[in-house]
Each structure stands twice: as structure tokens, then as C-alpha cells.
Amino acid sequence: MDTIIRNNNDIKLAKLAGFCYGVRRAVEESIRIRKENPEVPVYILGQLIHNNHVIEQLEEMGICTINEIPENLEGICIIRTHGAAPETIEALKKTGCEVVDLTCPDVKRVQDKAKSLAQEGYKVIVIGKPDHPEVMGIKAHADRFSESLVISSKQEAEKYADKIAGFRKIGVVVQTTQLNENFQEIIPLLASHAKELKIYNTICDATFKRQKAAKELAGEVDLMVVVGSNSSANTAHLAEVIKPIKDTIQ
């Protein structure tokens, strides 16, 4: 942990502050692609990461964010860290562009788990935020074999209790940036209704360690400041876990 002294105030920086490996890899690779292909248009389908400052820097380098797939697209198009639906990647390839997949390896692992569970005949339940691009991509990988279900909270799990009880085999995966506490609350409800339950806790190690470090730091200071984009699930969840412990500014 680093401590900075400013105006007689100690500012402590969490030892795990900063981008995780998956985000850092995607940003560095995007910059490398731009530098090695100076005359070629470079695009990213959706925001590479949920950080407006970084997106602006990439755009200044000539890396354009697009939100829809045109009929024809020349150049290189990058799949963002959150991943994409298989159908989306197939549609991109049909435009004629070169597709570079920078899906976070941890997210790709969840996609593969969801796909395997669906292939094995499990009803796939994704614990996460339904409108988050990562969750949408994970769900799409499972949906190619059998329609999956997204549950975001204990309350939603209770609402779907009767429906869940009707599934013979249930397989669970989790959005990589989910709160571990949320996951732990939902699983017992699923277990109480399921006849057969297969669970993969796919919260990434970086997320878990950052949340743990943030809670520990909150016990040592007078005020917590979470620096990050309001659209970032990581930022939102860090603030969520420490607000009950200490006054928090996001």
C-alpha cells in the first residue's frame, strides 16, 4: 500500500488499485494494433472498457468506437474486453474486416463454461446484470443450445422460484465483476429448488481481491474515494462493498 502526504493529510492508495490484467492487455493491444497499422482504419465494437478517459485517448489515436455493424467495413475491428455474441462476431467477419478478439480471458472462460453447460443439457443461469455487455455475450453463447436465464439478485431468484423448480438440471455461471456477496445470497435459493445443480463461481480473481482490499482499507481511513467511471461495474461494486463500512465518494 502506498501512502502520499498532501496538506498534512495521509492519502492511502489500495495495493491493488488500477486496471486488471484483462483491461490492461486490451488497451495495450489496441494501441499496438494502431501503431503497427497506421494507414488502416481501426475500430472497436462498443466501448473497449467502461472508462471514458481511456476511450477518449484511443479516439485521439484514431481508434474509433462503433456501436452498430455496417454492411461493409474495411480495416480492423476489435472485440472489446466484455466479449460479444457468436452471431455478432460472425456478422463482423461478413463485412470483410479483420476481426481481433480482445475479450478478457476470464470472460472467455465464462462463455466456454456457459456453452458447455448448455451442451450437457443444463438450464444455464447467469448471475449478473442483464443489460451488461459481458452478461449479454455470455447468455448468447449458452442460448445457441438452450435459452438461458439471467438473475441479478436474491429477490429475482425468489421471483423465479417456481420456474427454477421446473428445471431438471441447472448450471450456474457468474458475471466476472459481480459482488461475491450477491453470488453467495443467490446460490442457496437455487439449491433449495434445483434437482441437480452445477455451479461455477466465475467471479475473476482480480475482482475478488480488489473488493477484499477495498474493504480492508476502508477500516483504516476516514474517507474512501473510488476513482473510476460511473458506467463501470467494477467501480460500482467497489463503492457498494465499502459504503456500509466508511463514507465513500465515487
Active site residues: 134
Q: Which residues pair with 127 in a beta bridge?
A: 151, 174
CB 242 within 8 A of CB 224: yes
88: CB partners within 8 A, 6+ apart? 45, 69, 137, 140
3-state secondary structure the chain: CEEEEECCEEEEECCCCCCCHHHHHHHHHHHHHHHHCCCCCEEEECCCCCCHHHHHHHHHCCEEEECCCCCCCCCEEEECCCCCCHHHHHHHHHCCCEEEECCCHHHHHHHHHHHHHHHCCCEEEEECCCCCHHHHHHHHHHHCCCCCEEECCHHHHHHCHHHHHCCCEEEEEECCCCCHHHHHHHHHHHHHHCCEEEECCCCCHHHHHHHHHHHHHHCCCCCEECCCCCCCHHHHHHHHHHCCCCCEEC
CB under 8 Å to 38, separation ≥6 — which residues? none
